[in-house]
Amino acid sequence: MTKEDDQVLSGSDHPVAGAACLPEHVAIIMDGNGRWANMRGLPLLAGHRAGAEAVQRTVTVAIKRGVKWLTLYAFSSENWRRTPGEVADLTGLLRFYLRHKVAELSREGVRLRIIGDLTRFPPDIQEEARRAEQVTMGNDRLVLVLALSYGGRADIVQAAARMAQAVARGDIAADEIDESLFASALLTAGMPDPDLVVRTSGESRLSNFLLWQSAYAELVFLDTPWPDFDEAHFDTVLEIYSRRERRFGARPA
Binding residues for substrate: 32-36, 48, 76-78, 80, 82, 199, 205-207
Binding residues for Mg(2+): 31, 218
Identify whether 79 is a catalytic site residue.
yes
Identify whether 38 is a catalytic site residue.
no
Map the chain to HEC letters.
CCHHHHHHHHCCCCCCCCHHHCCCEEEEECCCHHHHHHHCCCCHHHHHHHHHHHHHHHHHHHHHHCCCEEEEEEEEHHHHHCCHHHHHHHHHHHHHHHHHCHHHHHHCCEEEEEECCHHHCCHHHHHHHHHHHHHCCCCCCEEEEEEEEECHHHHHHHHHHHHHHHHHHCCCCHHHCCHHHHHCCCCCCCCCCCCEEEECCCCCCCCCCCCCCCCCCEEEECCCCHHHCCHHHHHHHHHHHHHCCCCCCCCCC
Q: Which of 79, 117, 208, 228 is catalytic?
A: 79
Q: Which of 5, 6, 31, 208 is catalytic?
A: 31
Positions annotated as catalytic residues are 31, 79
